[in-house]
Amino acid sequence: MMLNTDGLSAQQIAQAVTDRKLSALDATEAALARIAAHDTVLNSFTDVTANRARATAKAIDAKIAAGEKVGPLAGVPFAVKNLFDVKGLATRAGSKINRDLAPASRDATLIERMEAAGAVLVGALNMGEYAYDFTGENVHDGPSRNPHDPTRMSGGSSGGSGSAVGGALVPIALGSDTNGSIRVPSSFCGIFGLKPTYGRLSRARSFPFVASLDHLGPLARNVGDLALAYDTMQGPDADDAACTTRPVEPVTSLLAKGIDGLRVAVAGGYFQKNVFPEAVEAISRVTKALDATTTVELHEAARARAAAYVITTTEGASLHLDRLRKRPNDFDPAVRDRLIAGAMVPAPLVDRAQKFRRWYRAKVLELFKSVDVIIAPATPCIAPKLGQVNFVLDGVELPVRANIGIHTQPISFIGLPVVAVPVPLEPMPIGVQIIAAPWREDIALRVAHALERMGVAAALAPRGLL
């Protein structure tokens, strides 16, 4: 009898496959069946690579039958944001325009590393156009939907990644994060997401957005799976100029070390403003569980967010300049108009934003002399309704889109590693950022693991699909 894989973690699937209690093909078929059953609601997949997945799974089963060693992700289904190159598919990056590109001739580095460890790619995932998005909405493919309430946003721009993992269609997805695009959907969809240190994971053969801010990383339903995927994908890569040459620093075996001795502080000032009560409650639960009584100020965080905005809009405009000239009507109009405006920001202001960035980085790094971890909201609110334009906070009406990423932007601006952990509030989950010093993903993941063990952080079953 086939083992039911619904709800199994990546580690459990890999163990069952390795122990011959489950075939990789059965695990793959189960994922394909879940996608067929639920993605009509979630709209998280834009491509289901069923034939490829079956072939990959059969190859793993053949290796096991031959007594060969298989990797730690043997038979684990996963999917990638559709800005990753998938051999044979045009890398659409959420756009209409890129569908005219030639099919990719080779997979992205991170897909190659996941599959070398035995994972099985089952498809590519919906996303906001060209990753310039926090909502998960897409005018070409329709919105990816929240697995806990399909009338709500998944968050973006890795919206399909959040929706597919939150909906338990796959245990692991890969996404990208320029200003918050892993952490925001993790928060809204109630799952764990890792934005590693800038330069840690290779971006080779993924469609860029803002070169100096782009990160790739995993999303998962538990910290063990998140760490395992992260460990699998580490390593230098000459095909990404920003990828570090530091040696691989595995974290999975460190999770059980716990958090004794770690100095945990909560971010004050800017990070305690413009938050809804649910974000306050989530921070309160996390800080209480971690016994975090210290508050630290990330000075000039508002200015950091402003500088990240300026760099994003101008670098993004530079990337798309020729497409804006030749095919302006094929963009999402909202993205197009933002990018055209970005092209018009005077160069000295961009240079000053980059110089401010170095100043701000130095100031924030000083904080890590006295603390190991900083806690901050991932989003100011739970997932808004699809199409929602404004929300009212402290009696003031504010635009939703512009404010979703206000707490993530000052952190990715200087490349710090962050784990977004889901706090399972009712009626909707919300995420909290666990922020560590550069290259200390291990610390952020240990804290996330501790919160998971205490029951403070958890990815709940997708209530919108029951």
Active site residues: 81, 157, 181
Report the C-alpha gap between 242 and 76 in whole angstroms.
Answer: 29
HEC profile for the chain?
CCCCCCCCCHHHHHHHHHCCCCCHHHHHHHHHHHHHHHHHHHCCEEEECHHHHHHHHHHHHHHHHCCCCCCCCCCCEEEEECCECCCCCCCCCCCCHHHHCCCCCCCCHHHHHHHHCCCEEEEEECCCHHHCCCCCCCCCCCCCEECCEEEEECCCCCHHHHHHHHCCCCCEEEEEECCCCCHHHHHHHCCEEEECCCCCCCCCCECCCCCCCCEEEEEECCHHHHHHHHHHHCCCCCCCCCCCCCCCCCCHHHHHHCCCCCCEEEECHHHHCCCCHHHHHHHHHHHHHCCCCEEECCCCHHHHHHHHHHHHHHHHHHHHHHHHHHCHHHCCHHHHHHHHHHCCCCHHHHHHHHHHHHHHHHHHHHHCCCCCEEEEECCCCCCCECCCCEEEECCEEEEHHHHCCCCCHHHHCCCCCEEEEEECCCCCCEEEEEEECCCCHHHHHHHHHHHHHCCCCCCCCCHHHC
List 20, 21, 263, 355, residue binding another protein (CB under 8 A): 355
Angle at alpha carbon of residue 78, lines to 76 and 84, rounded to 5°? 145
List 208, 236, 328, 424, residue binding another protein (CB under 8 A): 328
List 167, 171, 175, 199, residue binding another protein (CB under 8 A): 199
* CB nearer to another protein: pick between 90 and 334: 334
Residues 434-463 contacting another protein, CB under 8 A: 438-439
Q: Mask of contacts with another protein, 364-383, x by CB under 8 A?
A: -x------------------
* CB nearer to another protein: pick between 377 and 438: 438
* CB nearer to another protein: pick between 37 and 362: 362
* CB nearer to another protein: pick between 92 and 200: 200
- Give the total of residues touching another protein (CB under 8 A): 51
Q: Are 418 and 440 in contact (CB under 8 A)?
A: no
Residues 396-425 contacting another protein, CB under 8 A: 402, 414-415
**Contact region for another protein (CB under 8 A) — 18-26, 57-65, 256-264, 341-349?**
341-349
Q: Is 139 in the site for another protein (CB under 8 A)?
A: no
**Contact region for another protein (CB under 8 A) — 65-73, 74-82, 319-327, 372-380?**
319-327
**Contact region for another protein (CB under 8 A) — 9-17, 55-63, 273-281, 338-346?**
338-346
Q: Is 389 in the site for another protein (CB under 8 A)?
A: no
Q: Is 198 in the site for another protein (CB under 8 A)?
A: yes
Q: Is 96 in the site for another protein (CB under 8 A)?
A: no
* CB nearer to another protein: pick between 431 and 438: 438
* CB nearer to another protein: pick between 19 and 351: 351
Q: Which residues pair with 385 in a beta bridge?
A: 152
**Contact region for another protein (CB under 8 A) — 257-265, 270-278, 330-338, 426-434?**
330-338
Q: Is 344 in the site for another protein (CB under 8 A)?
A: yes
Report the C-alpha gap between 279 and 345 in whole angstroms.
Answer: 34
Q: Is 334 in the site for another protein (CB under 8 A)?
A: yes
Q: Is 337 in the site for another protein (CB under 8 A)?
A: yes
CB of 253: closest distance to another protein in angstroms?
24
Question: What phi, psi does 286 have (nearest 5°)?
Answer: -70, -45
**Contact region for another protein (CB under 8 A) — 270-278, 282-290, 345-353, 442-450?**
345-353
Q: Is 212 in the site for another protein (CB under 8 A)?
A: yes
List 50, 101, 262, 343, residue binding another protein (CB under 8 A): 343
CB of 323: closest distance to another protein in angstroms?
11
Residues 285-314 contacting another protein, CB under 8 A: 300, 302-303, 306-307, 309-310, 313
Report the C-alpha gap between 280 and 56 in whole angstroms.
Answer: 45
- Binding residues for another protein (CB under 8 A): 197-199, 211-213, 241-242, 244, 300, 302-303, 306-307, 309-310, 313, 321, 324-325, 328, 333-334, 336-338, 340-346, 349-359, 361, 365, 402, 414-415, 438-439
